């Protein structure tokens, strides 16, 4: 069965707004919780990472307007996209990610690989 092509607006969104695969995975955990509070500890366990690293991912999600604090507990959040446009794009990302995992992760990694190459190129010695 042929794969569904990646919509161009989703491709742009991934390249400009998605920093890492753990960011997407954490977003999906919050989304799937359907508004219930999710702790940094749960994110860390589900993503097999240190709680501090999970906290960093959660902070990125918060800054991106994907989640909000859940009550007074500073380490629990719930899914709540800041705008209807962001909510629609996150829904499209979730659907496409689940059916085309490799395509999305390759796109995310290509972005970080390009950045790493640009950084490395800055240190190349050149003959002028």
Q: Quick: pLDDT tens for 6-56.
A: 899 999 999 999 999 999 999 999 999 988 999 999 999 999 999 999 999
Pairwise pLDDT comparison (128 vs 108), residue with the higher score: 108
Is residue 81 domain-resident? yes
Domain extent at residue 69: 9-121
Q: Quick: pLDDT tens for 76-90.
A: 999 999 999 999 999
Is 50 exceeded by the pLDDT of residue 117? no
Number of domains in the chain: 1
Is residue 109 domain-resident? yes
Is residue 70 domain-resident? yes
Is 90 exceeded by the pLDDT of residue 109? no
The model carries a pTM of 0.82
Residue 124, Cα to own-chain centre: how many angstroms?
A: 31
The DSSP secondary structure of 25-94, one letter per residue, reads HHHHHHHHTTT--EEHHHHHHHHTS-HHHHHHHHHHHHHTTSEEE-TT-TTEEEE--SSHHHHHHHHHHH
The CATH number of residue 112's host domain is: 1.10.10.10
C-alpha closest to that of 107 among 28, 17, 30: 17
Residue 99, Cα to own-chain centre: how many angstroms?
A: 16
Is residue 128 domain-resident? no
Q: Tokens for 13?
A: 């969104």
């Amino acid at each position: 069965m042929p794969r569904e092509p990646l919509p161009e607006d989703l491709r742009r969104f991934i390249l400009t707004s998605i920093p890492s695969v753990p960011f997407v995975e954490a977003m999906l955990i919050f989304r799937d919780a359907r508004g219930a509070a999710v702790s940094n500890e749960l994110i860390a366990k589900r993503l097999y990472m240190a709680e501090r690293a999970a906290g960093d991912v959660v902070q990125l999600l918060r800054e991106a307007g994907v989640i909000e604090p859940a009550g007074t507990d500073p380490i629990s959040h719930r899914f709540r996209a800041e705008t209807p446009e962001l909510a629609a794009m996150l829904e499209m990302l979730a659907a496409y990610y689940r059916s085309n995992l490799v395509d999305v992760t390759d796109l995310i990694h290509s972005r970080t690989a390009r950045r790493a190459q640009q950084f490395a190129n800055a240190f190349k010695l050149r003959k002028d």
